Structure formats: C-alpha cells, structure tokens
Amino acid sequence: MMPMLIWLTISAAVAAYAPTQTDIIFNHAAHFSERSIDCTTCHDVAKSTMASDKNIPGHDVCSACHSVEKSPDDCRLCHANPENPVGVIMPPREIVFAHSRHTGEAPKSQDCLECHQGVDTATVGLSAQNYPPMQKCFQCHDGIGVTADCKACHTQSAKMAQLVHPPDWKHSHKFEANAGGKSCAPCHQSETFCSDCHAGDNLTGFVHDLNYRYNHGLDAKAKEFECQSCHDFQTFCSECHDRENAIPLNHLNRNWSPRNNPMYHADAARQDIEACASCHDENRSTCAQPGCHNDSDGIRGTNPSIHPSNIDELGKGPWHDDRSFQCYQCHLYTGVSGVGFCGYCHGDNGD
Amino acid sequence: MGFQKNRRSKIKSVDRRMIFVIDSGGIGGKMRKMVSAPLVFYFVCFVASAASASVIDANFSTEFYGYKVKIPEDQDQIRSLQGVRLGIHDAFVPGLSLYARGRVASDLSNKFSTDPDWRVFGAYLQYSPSKAFSAKAGRQYVSAGLGGITLDGGRLDLFYQDLTLTGYVGTTPGPSFFNYDAINGWDKSNAYGGRLKYAGLKWWTFGLSFMERNYSGNLDSRIGGFDFSYSRGNCSEFGRIDYEIFQKKVKLVTIRPSLRLKQGHSIGLEYLYRRPTFGISSIFSVFKNEPFHQIRVNPILKINENVYGLGSLAYTRYDDDDNIRISAGASYRSQSGGVVFSDGYGGARLGIFASVNRKLSEDLSAYLFGDMFNYKLDTNEDDTTPSLAASLGANCQVLKEMNVRGEVQLLSNRDYKYDTRFYVKADYTLRMSQADVTGGGYR
C-alpha cells in the first residue's frame, strides 16, 4: 500500500497547483453589473466579420466617461505599466469566426453572456474561463442543424490533432477517454471513431508494430500495456496460438514435461498463471488429464497437486452459494447429503 | 434427406441467437458462413431511412493487402477488405439516428473456408429526442467507467443537471475473429452494468460504476468501480479503482496526474496496480495471483514551437521480479524518432524507430516509417532476434471526398529474412445534408 499512498500524495500536490493568469486590468463587473452598461456600448461586435477583428474599445470609447489625458494617473487606471502602456495586441487567430453571424444586428448583453460566461462578474480582467469552450460551440454545431466539420471554423484543421494533442497522445489518450471522453466528443463525433484504430486489422502498423506478431510477447508477458483494453485475453490469444501451434519458449524446454520435472511448469504457473490462462482454459483436458491433476484414487484431498493441504479446514466456502464456483469444474453438485461431492462433508443425516 | 442437406445450400435460423448459418457444398469444398441478421436489418434500415434523413455521413473504403505467410509453407495472400461506416441522423423522426460500421474480408489468391470474413464493429439505432435521455439499441461499444465492452443489446443514458446515469445490458459477441458478427445467446455470454457520473463540482468529475459478466451460465466477474477526473488549466488528473466484489479483491488502481507547464513542457506521472483476476468459475483462480505495481513517468520537453523531446520511463515490480522500460526521442512537426530499451521479466529489447512525413503538395503527402529491434522474449535466452519493419507510402486526396493511400512494407523477422508487402486503400466519404449551414464567418 505504501507506493499507493505516496502516489496519492503526489497526485494531491499536483492537483493543488493550477495557475490563473490575467493580463488585463479592467473591471467588467463595475461597468456591466453596477452601472448597467451594455456590452455593445463598448464592443461593436455586430459588424465584426473576422475572428481577428479588434473588438476592444479604444480611448475614444473610454473617454466618454473617463479622462484619457495621458497623465500617469489616468493611464494607471487601466494600464498595469503606465510608463510603457502597450494597449491590447490581438494575437493571430487560427479560427474562422464572425460575431456578426452569431449575434445578429442588435445583440443584447444576455446574448454575449451566453458564450462569454462570467464576464458580468469579472473584476480583474478576463481569463480563458470567460471564453466559450468548444463544447459550447457544439451545442449548435451538432452536425445536424449546423455543421460540425472542423474545417468550418479551423483554418488549420489538418494540424488540429497536433495542436490539441500532446506528443505522447497515443499513450495518454486512454485516460481522457476513460474519464468519459467529454473532450473527445466535440471533434470525434463519429460514434464509431474509436474502432477506426482499436478494431482495425492493423495492416499498416499504426497501432502495433508490423512485426508485432513476433514480438508482442514482450508486452503481453510484461503486462505493461493493457492488452485487455481491446482483447479478451482468454480467447483472443488462443485464436492464433492454437491455429498456428505457437507455443511459448519455455514449453520447448525439456523440463517442461511433468514427466521430466514436475516442478518446472508448476513454478511457471505459480509465477504467472495469467500467462497460462491466455491460452489454456479451465477444462479438464488442460490440467486434469489422467496422471496429472487428477485425483484418481477416489479418496478426497489425497493428491496435493489438486487441492491445498488444508482443504478440509475451509468450512462453509463459497461453493455452497455459487453453483458456478470452480469446484464444479471437476465435481458434480448433487444437492443431496451423503451423495457425491456434497457427501464429502455432509453425511447421510444431513449434518 | 441427409444427402440433400449436404449438397444444397441452406439457410437455417438458430433459435435465440439470431444467426443465419449458410452452408454450401460444391466447388471449393464446404463453405460455412455466418451472416448476422442485424447487418441485413441495418442495411434495409439505411436504404429506407436515407430518404428521410437530414444528414447522412458515410465512409466507404476498399483495401488490398498483399503479403506472404508461412502456413506451414510460404504462400502469397492478397486480402481484400471492404469497409463501410454509416451515420444517418434524423431518420424518419427527429432524434433518431442509425450508426453502423463493418467490413468484410476475403482473399483474392486463395480460397479459405473462413472467407468471406465478416466483422460488424457496430450497428445500432440511437434515439435522443431531448437532452434528458439517449437510448441505443444494437451492437455497440460501451465505455462507462470500468465497463468497456462490446455489447449486442441496449444502453440508456439519463441526464439530469450534473448527473448522468448510464445503464446497459446485452450479450457479448465474439470475440473470435471468425464469428465476430455472431450474436451469442444470453446463456452463453452476457454482461450488464451501469455508471453514475457527477460533474457538479467545478473541474471535477466523479463516477461510480458496476459491471457483471457471465459466461456459459457462470458468473465470470462482478466488479464495482470508482473513478474521478480533474482538469483545471494546465493540470489534469485521472484516477480509478476497480474492486472484484465477489472475490473481495482490489482488481485495479490507476492514477495519473499530469501537468503542462507554461513554457510548453509537460510531465505525466502514472501509477498502476493490477491484480490478475480470473473468471470466478475458472480453476486458475485458485492459484496465487500476486499483483504488480507499475510507475511510469512521461516527460515532454518543448525545445521550440516545432521540436519536442519525448521520454518515457516505466518500472514494473512483480512479486519476485521486475521490468524496466525506457524510451527517448524527439519530434519535429510530424517527424519523430528515438530509441527503446526494455529489460527484465517478459524479455529484453533494444531498438530504434523513426517516422518521417512530408507534404509534397496540397493534396499529396509521403511518409516513411521504420523500426529496428533486437529482442528476446525470455531473459534466459542467449541470443537475441533481430527484426526490421519499414513502410514507404503516400497519401493522395484525389477528390474532396476521396483519399487514396498506397504503401510498400519491408519486413525482416524470425520467419522471413525479407518479406515485402503491399497495401492500398481508397476511402470515399459521403456527407449529405438537407440543412447544412456552415455557421462560420470570414477570416
């Protein structure tokens, strides 16, 4: 448990670190909420047709109420560095967006707040939280009423995958998907998107190395990769291993045969029974062959290769309530005291 | 009567399995095929609903793959794979959609008893008339907390404020390649479960999930799980714990915090605890199954806008052994390369890989991918096995709706000193909409 606790501590520390940054000194709340100034009084977005439009008010707009005489005190009101004010420099925009097509000719403040949530209460400039996430766009751009095509908004849609996904995305995307995939859905709307890779035929080596047929044992045995994410290991492995008679290397060792060394394969089984189960099932032909794990003398519990030595001390075990329990792979449930498997413990009088 | 059954093609339905089994004798010997009824059903639905749908999103692909295989002697094979993906929205009534994805493969140079090999990855109807609920019926992949499974059945999602309740039930198909499209009976294989997700806390999502699987009438697993995710600014975290309820064992614990720094660097830490568990009825479950712990660190170093340094260090601790894996490399735009090293339980590997992608024109790009390894699957082996895989290919956007890709592969491995393969794929994407409004503006 210790590694788990250490990890939880590290995780909690990382979770606590989440920087919030702002570059703008402007109290939206004081203007919008306290003085009831509409958004469009300062932001003339009804005519904005490009995402790169500078919809930020200039001195001419501010001067309607404020003195902008370029005295240090006046500058300090809005500029963090009044000695060298830079104003607002619009960053290059990759997206295609026209406010005018979304707001109409006479937008109301509530329309703006629909996407720019929290601006009405922001007191120290804006952050990314005040801009609509892509999920918001997809409320309308759902691919049904309005297009959800990446190219409709993103000029560099071909590079979107690189921009959005970190370089180790091939490994790390499973965590995002596991969490519910809410950030996957906006772009990957196709309901069968995952299967493009996960259920493909791996003909091009995109998911697995082209030689994976030969070296997949490295991953399967070391269990570093979760093969089971896609493959049902109890049946998937045997699909090829059975057909092509591909057996693990240790099976070729002369000691593998119980006749030569009964403990060799037993040690392997104890060390990694999961590896055994990837090809062998629990039916009697695998383990319970005559001369192997087969209690042929009819006296219960006498073959240590089958039952642990304390089999008689286990008491009322789960086989009483579950007819699918492993005991019944070999034994037959009779439900009658004194008869068959039940009779091993329960005498004729039912005690 | 028996003679007639053997000679003539016949179609018989199998009770409760909804499978048509087509047997035919004659040229090429006996051929046995299994074609799923849902495939036919959905095809009929597609044709019928296409006329009334508001949006049809479809992709048709054809692939050819030529290679050599030892079975047991060298034999050339040319596999042909035809695939289709369909999405039909507002079919018949608003909110009703149909999705399907499948492919059929067969060999052009040889006749195999398993050809044509059908696979239906998904084929289901979805009904989402409002934001309050969504229902799906048919073959679908369900991902709901610990439940990640392909089902032939139904799924219902209920949405209420910050709560999402998901429930699913059905039989599980396959997983054999050759009867993947077959629908198992309930008695043979089934699964059901659900998840309750809460996203009411800012930046956090919590989930409680449950899944039970049964094989051949026996309980295979009964698992409960808790998961959470956290995402705020440059920081994210995911955690999950699965608990085998019947066996009273923790099956899996994973937690992965990651942090992206302002300079563009990032680091992901990952802890995994997993206890191998077997079906409750499996005799293997009596063995000692010790869990293993794995720690992985994924640093990404941003050197400039285009160049990143990538690394991965994973250490796995087993009951009485361990394994270490290291990879390091760099990426430049869409090119990347690096080295891989692993040693310990499970074998050893040392190799290099590289990937180069170059855009030759607006519609044409070429790529080269290769890796070379020396590996051994058991650390007790004296000799290592060399392997090489290289692909040279090109992508061409022939039409706005059509993409063609060609690839030559060169392999060297344990079986073949040199094995040359060819791969060609053509994709045609069809999108029709009765009310396609771009909604975009002008740059």
pLDDT for A55-109, tens place per residue? 888 888 888 888 877 677 777 777 777 777 777 777 677 788 888 888 877 778 8
What was the pLDDT predicted at B174?
58
Angle (CA) A45-A50-A51 rounded to 5° is 90
| A174: pLDDT strictly greater than 50 | yes
| A172: pLDDT strictly greater than 50 | yes
CA dist B319 and B290 (Å) reads: 6
CA-based nearest distance A314→chain B, Å? 13
Among the ranges given (A218-222, A324-328, B293-297), the one the predictor scored with the smallest mean pLDDT: A324-328
For tokens 């503006």, the residue is B441
Q: Rounded to the nearest 5°, which phi and psi values hold at A130?
A: -90, 0
Per the structure block, which two tokens stand in for A79? 């500029």
Q: Flag whether B38 is in a domain.
A: no
Considering only CB atoms, B441 lies closest to which of A97, A172, A274, namely A97
Is the CB of B312 less than 8 angstroms away from the CB of A194?
no
Considering only CB atoms, A181 lies closest to which of B143, B273, B334, namely B143
Considering only CB atoms, B423 lies closest to which of A204, A220, A234, namely A204
- What is the arithmetic mean of pLDDT over A17-24? 45
* Higher local confidence (pLDDT), B36 or B337: B337
Q: Rounded to the nearest 5°, which phi and psi values hold at B298?
A: -120, 90
CA-based nearest distance A273→chain B, Å? 7
A162: chain B residues, CB-CB within 8 Å: 333-334
CA dist B39 and A279 (Å) reads: 31
What was the pLDDT predicted at B326?
94
- What is the arithmetic mean of pLDDT over A136-164? 72
Nearest chain B residue to A8 by CA distance is: B255
CB pairs under 8 A between A and B: 294
| B18: pLDDT strictly greater than 50 | no
What was the pLDDT predicted at B240?
92
Percentage of chain A modeled with pLDDT above 90: 0
Considering only CB atoms, B347 lies closest to which of A221, A271, A325, namely A221
Nearest chain A residue to B347 by CA distance is: A218
**Per-residue confidence band for B26, with pLDDT thresholds at 50, 70 and 90:** very low
Nearest chain A residue to B262 by CA distance is: A19
What was the pLDDT predicted at B362?
84
Considering only CB atoms, A168 lies closest to which of B119, B310, B378, namely B310
Is the CB of A224 less than 8 angstroms away from the CB of B71?
no
- Estimate to the nearest angstrom the gap between the alpha carbon of B249 and the chain centroid: 28
**Per-residue confidence band for A10, with pLDDT thresholds at 50, 70 and 90:** low
CB-based contacts of B3, cutoff 8 Å, min separation 6: none
Q: What is the pTM of this model?
A: 0.73
What was the pLDDT predicted at B48?
59
CA-based nearest distance A204→chain B, Å? 8
- Please enumerate, as own/partner, the contacts of A270-276 that have beta carbons within 8 Å and a separation of 24 or more: A270/B287, A270/B288, A271/B319, A271/B320, A271/B321, A272/A221, A273/B276, A273/B278, A273/B284, A273/B287, A273/B288, A273/B289, A274/A223, A274/A233, A274/B276, A274/B278, A274/B289, A275/A220, A275/A221, A275/A248, A276/B284
CA-based nearest distance A63→chain B, Å? 30
User: Which residues make beta-bridge pairs with B191?
Assistant: B170, B213
What was the pLDDT predicted at A155?
75
**Per-residue confidence band for B249, with pLDDT thresholds at 50, 70 and 90:** confident
CA-based nearest distance A25→chain B, Å? 21
Is the CB of A224 less than 8 angstroms away from the CB of B323?
yes
CA-based nearest distance B25→chain A, Å? 24
Is the CB of B381 less than 8 angstroms away from the CB of A249?
yes
Alpha helices in B107-196 (DSSP H): none
Interface probe with A: pick from B118, B221, B274, B281, most Cβ of A within 10 Å: B281
CB atoms within 10 A of CB A148: 20
Interface confidence, given as ipTM, is: 0.75
Is the CB of A10 less than 8 angstroms away from the CB of B269?
yes
Interface probe with A: pick from B84, B205, B215, B287, most Cβ of A within 10 Å: B287
**Per-residue confidence band for B17, with pLDDT thresholds at 50, 70 and 90:** very low
CA nearest to B199, candidates B171, B230, B174: B230
Q: Are A52 and A93 in contact (CB under 8 A)?
A: yes
Is the CB of B443 less than 8 angstroms away from the CB of A205?
no
What was the pLDDT predicted at A147?
72
User: Which residues make beta-bridge pairs with B64?
Assistant: B80, B424
Is the CB of B375 less than 8 angstroms away from the CB of A324?
no
Q: Is the peptide bond before A82 cis (omega within 30 degrees of 0)?
A: no
3-state SS string for B58-114? EEEEEEEEEEEEECCCEEEEEEEEEEEEEEEECCCCCCEEEEEEEEEEEECCCCCCC
A160: chain B residues, CB-CB within 8 Å: none
CA dist B349 and B59 (Å) reads: 39
CA dist B44 and B42 (Å) reads: 5
Considering only CB atoms, A152 lies closest to which of B240, B414, B439, namely B439
Nearest chain B residue to A317 by CA distance is: B247
What was the pLDDT predicted at B27?
29
| A291: pLDDT strictly greater than 90 | no
Domain that includes residue B350, residue range: 290-438
Is the CB of A214 less than 8 angstroms away from the CB of B280?
no
CA dist B141 and A231 (Å) reads: 13
| B6: pLDDT strictly greater than 70 | no
B409: chain A residues, CB-CB within 8 Å: 204-205, 210
3-state SS string for B336-350? EEEEEEEEECCCEEE
CA dist A224 and B342 (Å) reads: 11
Q: What is the mean pLDDT of chain B?
A: 79
CA-based nearest distance A297→chain B, Å? 21
A231: chain B residues, CB-CB within 8 Å: 175
* Higher local confidence (pLDDT), B14 or B112: B112
CA nearest to A206, candidates B425, B99, B119, B177: B425
Percentage of chain B modeled with pLDDT above 70: 81
What does the domain layout of chain A look like in residue ranges?
Answer: 28-132, 315-343
Question: Which tens digits make up the pLDDT trace of B150-199?
Answer: 889 999 999 998 899 999 999 987 544 445 556 778 888 889 999 999 98
Question: Which tens digits make up the pLDDT trace of B367-412?
Answer: 999 999 999 887 777 888 999 999 999 999 998 889 999 999 998 8
CA dist A64 and B314 (Å) reads: 62
User: Which residues make beta-bridge pairs with B313?
Assistant: B297, B326
Domain count, chain B: 1
**Per-residue confidence band for A16, with pLDDT thresholds at 50, 70 and 90:** very low
Which of A215-219, A229-233, B73-77, B87-91 is the most confident on average?
A: A215-219
